[in-house]
Structures are given as C-alpha cells and as structure tokens.
Structure 1
C-alpha cells in the first residue's frame, strides 16, 4: 500500500474515527522508532498482550496503527471464543490471531505457519506473551495430503504456494492434513489464511468439518485461488454442503448477517443465531485505541 493509501486506511479505520490524529501519531512513532532501533520492537496489542514487530510486517503494524487490523474478523475471534476453547490458526504468520485467541481470550490454540523464518517470529510472540502451555505451534503447511510443497519467501503476509516456473525466492516445506493435525481434537473456530490454497486445506479436513463441535470457519474469499485455477465458489460449496452459512460480523452491534457471496474474508457459521448470542455475551477487550 502506498503512503497516501495507508494514511487513508489509518484515518478512516472505524476504531480511529474518534481520534485520527492519535492514530497518525502512532504511525509516526513507529516509522521513527523502527528506523532507529533497526530490529524487533514490542508493541502493545489486545488486553495486555503484545507483539514483537519489525519493519515490513504489514499485518502486525496495522494492529498498532488501528487496534485491530482486520476489525470484524479479529473482533469475531475475541467475541466467539471462550477460555479453554480450541482455536486453529492456519497460516498464522507472526501470530496476531494466535495471540488474540490464546493471550487475550485464554483459548487453546493450534497454530500453523509453514515458513521457518516466519515461524521463528511466531514462536517469539508466543514466548513474549507466556503462551507456551496454551499454544501448540507447528512449522508446516496444510493441504489435502501429506508431503512437501514449495512456498514463496520474502513476501510477508502474501507468501503462498509457488506456481511452476515463477521467478521468486522459494523454499520447500512439509505439509500434512488438518484431520491428521487435529486427531481427536475439534476446534470451535478455524481461521484459514493460505493465500489461495484454501480448497486443498478444506479437502484435508473432512473429519474436522463434519463435526458439529466446529462452530465457525473464518476464511479468505478474495479470489486468490484463481491463480491455481480454483474459484471462491468451490470454498462456498464445500462449506455450505457441510451445513455452514456464509456470514459477516458487525463488531459494533455484535450482530451476524448472512451474505449471499463471499467478501474479502467470510465467516462460515454452523448456527448463526447461536453464535450471535455467544458474541453478545462476550466481555469487552481493551485495545491501543479503545475497546471492542
């Protein structure tokens, strides 16, 4: 995102509406401090948690600028989970959702990040928040079968399964299925952010998805699978056929609205009415710029 677009995003973010100048101040302080320090900096996050952040981590810095970078989706995770629930963070990157669920809520977390360098940063954020006993982290990918897959490296949150013949830096990583990873465990909420590889991940999760213990699946539906010849309709049909309804979450009213098509991120819910009741009963969580 270019500087003008980033500034518009920050000042127009719903959590910054009441104090846009303070948001600009957080942006300016980060730009200065990150250049002076030159390495990871601890930034406050949600409800007493924090993230170790370095320059170029767009998702993590977005949390500092805006409280919650992906507002509706992150607020949903905070409101839908309870202490002791199991949350699966597939494509964890440096751990924003892992820390939300494990640190702020007190849920147990299965955290999966395939790239070794990013996994080190994820592990650091697990340690800095004292979550070693609550988070089970795996340095691997997920797909429809066990094996190895080539991933891009150096693209921050946009790293993905590499296409044949691409002139990009890559590395080979082991993959397994979500069914094998979970065993007899069933996450209450799944977050899947795998930059277009969603359908193979879902195809390797038939036992998990067939369980009524799984209440919601938060998944990208932004067309990124088209580079692999897969359209978002395949995600919609896979989850709809298992009894999930595509929805969006209104964090402010704590209301759930069914949608007919995917948005950038779609939350598929097994029972939207029951999930709305759960979200309404959740406590509020403090942020750097307010609360949700």
Structure 2
C-alpha cells in the first residue's frame, strides 16, 4: 500500500507523549484494536507495520494524500479506491462525497476486506460499495497469498500470488475490471495495487475515456514504472509526482516522535490534458521519480 522502500531527507522528530493515543483506545482483542481516529472509528491490526502502526500511534494514515484529495472532490462525486486496505482513506472519501456521492472500494485480501467492511459499518458509510475482488485488466479469478495476520507484516504491501500457486500457499479471489462497475460518473480513481497499476488502468479504459477522472496512481516499482507512465500518457494525461511522507508532524494524536523516519509513498497525480491545473507538484519527465 505504500512505497516503503523510498526515502527523502530525514524529518525532525520530537519526544513521544502517547497520552492522546492511549485515551483514544476503545477496545482491544488480541492483535486488534479499535480507536477513535481523525476520520472516525477504526479497527486495525497492531502488527501491521505501516497502516495499523500509523493509526495506532498517530490516529491517521498518510494525511497528505487526503489533503490532496480534498482539493479534487466535492459532494456528489464518485470515487474508486482500488487497493482500499482497511479503509483508512475510504472512510474519508465517503464523508467527502456525501450521501449523493459514491465510493467503490476494491480489496482482494479476504481478512483485510473483512476489516474494511467493519470500519465502514462502524462509521455508517452506506454510500460505499466494498468489493472483495482484485481489480485488473480482465475478469475471472486471481490468487492472494495466505498470511498469518497474527505475525508482524506490511499487510498493505502484499502483491497477488502467482496464478499457478497452490491452495496451501494462496487462496482464490474474484477478479474484475473497473469497467465492469456501473457508475453514473467518475471523478477520481485511486490505485494502489503493488505493481499491478498498469493492468488496473487497462481494465478501466472505458470509464477513463468516458468520464476523464483524476487518477492517483502508485508508481514505486522501477521495473514497471516506464510502462505505467507510457500507458497513462497514451490516455492523454499529464502526470505529476506526489511524494507524501508517512509521518505528519501535525498528526491527530499530537505525537512528536517520527517512527517512520524518511519513508514516503511514491505516487502520481494524473490530470486529463484538457483540464487546466495550477500546482506546485513536479511534472513527471522521467519514469524514475529520483530523476524527474
């Protein structure tokens, strides 16, 4: 779910207090906790290295992304959250688009999808359609690795398993295209699918050409970056780098210690070329974000 291998210069850190984080705890059961966070109630896995850890310690996850989306959406919009994980962004998206809007969330990990649905229920998000499915270029089925969710891991960074993997190491999940979803409009497609971004875009080409939504696409795989950039440009989009830090000094719990150090996510904001935009973001020149 995040380009945890990518870094920018170290951010300043401060002393941890933990008081607000402790006060926000509503329930704990084994490796699971429920806390009152910036954007609502969240059940999360304490053993998740990034999303869970950030919600636990800071009461939010990648708030810089939400700040960007806030400029792109309004009530009544339709957004896709592809690779929604447990809903750290989905819940906010649902509130932003409101009752007249809609969010379609894809999450292929069965256990993570269960937590996504729990968070949607906890926050009364009736305008979200949470699909247990892997988005891709074609429909059918896919495989996801079998994981031990009681052991520490980056559960937001799990790629699909090979198609020929066995039932001992993986389990089947439905696969579908974004184009197979019927929507009255489309304003934003957020894609974070661990190296499968180009396939998801290919499976959304009809909706992209019809509605010309903003796209927000992870691009942290060097071996796939050039092809992804080419695919997006072929749809007549301008691309801009967005590199949000995982740590927000103004986090919801007021926690001063930066446990994520220099980690950033490597994403692109993709804007239809016919749409005027004023932004301080750096336009993509080279598929490697370090170069351009």
TM-score between the two structures when normalised by the length of structure 2: 0.71
1:67-105 Cα distance to aligned partner (Å, 9 max, x none): 543243222123321111111001111111111101355
CA drift at 1:214: 3.3
CA drift at 1:136: 0.8
Per the alignment, residue 217 of structure 1 pairs with 215
Per the alignment, residue 204 of structure 2 pairs with 205
Task: Determine which structure has the larger helix proportion and give its number.
Answer: 1
Per the alignment, residue 283 of structure 1 pairs with none
The structure whose RCO (Cα within 8 Å, separation 6+) is larger is 2
1:183-204 Cα distance to aligned partner (Å, 9 max, x none): 3533211111110111111111
1:52 aligns with 2:43: yes
Alignment counterpart, residue 75 of structure 1, candidates 42, 67, 77: 67
Alignment counterpart, residue 240 of structure 2, candidates 235, 247, 250: 247
Per the alignment, residue 271 of structure 2 pairs with 269
SS of the residue 1:210 aligns to = helix
TM-score between the two structures when normalised by the length of structure 1: 0.71
Per the alignment, residue 256 of structure 1 pairs with none
Alignment counterpart, residue 99 of structure 1, candidates 84, 87, 91: 91
Number of residue equivalences: 243
* Mapping of residues 86-235 of structure 1, within 5 Å: 86-104=78-96, 106=98, 107-132=101-126, 134-154=127-147, 156-163=155-162, 169-181=169-181, 183-211=182-210, 213-223=211-221, 226=223, 231-235=224-228
Unpaired runs of 5+ residues, structure 2, are: 148-152, 249-264, 280-292
SS of the residue 2:103 aligns to = strand
* CA–CA distance in structure 1, aligned partners of residues 111 and 185 of structure 2: 28
8 Å contact kept, 2:36–2:42: yes
